[in-house]
Structure formats: structure tokens, C-alpha cells
Amino acid sequence: MDALLEWDKQLFLILNQLFSPSWDTFWLAVTNAITWLPLYAVLIGRLIKNSNSHSTWIFRIALSLVGLLLWDQGANFVKELIARPRPCQEELEGIRILVHCSAYGFFSAHAANTFGLAFLMRKWLKPSWFPILIGVAFIQSFSRIHVGVHFPLDLLAGALWGIFISTILVRIDSKFS
């Protein structure tokens, strides 16, 4: 386990320093959830348009909100349970820290939310949306490394949590559709 955590730290340091400081403004925008509100509004519009009934889109939006709650609060629960310090809390030489640094980072709620949403919408929207949403999930997750608040394994675990919860929500949807 120690070797895996050391590898995670070393990979973090490489990725955190991959882009020059001239990219900081871009990555700060990417990591900010407000940046993505127009995309989420479009997704809601597409979800409504692609649903065959009023009750279907209402149910799916409700499931999405349940997903958001489970992805986000699941991450917060596990962060307190595992209590793995964020990279910005450790004394790592050369680390770039661009945002507020809370205590614990395992696992990433950003990754859980974005990957969970991508896999949830994959079943409800046209297939052309999935690569876009996966791209957003990867870019937003990477931004968490660039700003100094998550190790790569934090992101991987968050992504897996998001996919797991979305799989359950899709099954619930298929039972009621």
C-alpha cells in the first residue's frame, strides 16, 4: 500500500507541474462548477426533449438530483472516514496550489459528479453526447490535480463511485420506465 501511495504522489507531482503557470486561469475556470452551468442547462433541455412523456423527464431529473446527492455526499462521507490528506496539505516540493485546501481528499466529489453524470446521461441522451461528457469529466478531474487538491487515485476512486451510482440509477429508471 505504501508503494502505491508513493507512486500516486509521484504521478501527482508530474501532472501538477505538466502545464506552466500561464495555464492557471484556464484550469481555475475548468475546476469551477459555475463554468459548466450552461452545459447542464443544455443537458436538462435535451433530457426534456428526448423524453417521451412529462413524467419521464421529471423522474429522470429527480434521479439526477439523487445521483448528485449520492455522488457528492458519498465523497464527503468517505473523505472523513479515510482521512487521507490532500496533496496541498502535504509538504510536497514544487506543488502548485491554486484553490482553498480543505483537509481530506479521498475521494474526489468533482470526479464522482462528472463521471456519474456522464454515465447517467449516456442512457438517456443520444450517443453523441457521451464522448463530450466523458471529455468534460476527464478535463474537470484533471483540473483538480492542476490546482493541487487531489491525487490521481482520488480521481479514479471518485470516477468509479460516480459510475457505480449511475449504474444503480439507470436500473431504477429502467424498472419504472
State pLDDT tens for residues 54-88: 999 999 999 999 999 999 999 999 999 999 999 99
Mean pLDDT of all residues belonging to the chain:
95
Asked if the structure places residue 111 within a domain, the reply is yes
Give me the pLDDT at residue 120, please.
96
Asked if the structure places residue 27 within a domain, the reply is no
Asked if the structure places residue 23 within a domain, the reply is no
Distance CA 39, CA 5 (A): 35
Domains contained in the chain, number: 1
Asked if the structure places residue 1 within a domain, the reply is no
Asked if the structure places residue 130 within a domain, the reply is yes
Give me the pLDDT at residue 177, please.
73
Give me the pLDDT at residue 86, please.
95
Asked if the structure places residue 107 within a domain, the reply is yes
Mean local confidence (pLDDT), 28-52: 94
Domain extent for 138: 37-176
- Residues with Cβ within 8 Å of 65's Cβ and at least 6 positions away in sequence, in order, are none
Confidence of residue 94 (pLDDT cuts 50, 70, 90): confident
Asked if the structure places residue 20 within a domain, the reply is no
Please, what sign has the CA dihedral across residues 146, 139, 35, 89? negative
Asked if the structure places residue 91 within a domain, the reply is yes
Say if CB 88 and CB 106 are below 8 A apart.
Answer: no
> Is a pLDDT exceeding 90 seen at residue 92?
no
Distance CA 15, CA 138 (A): 13
Give me the pLDDT at residue 66, please.
97
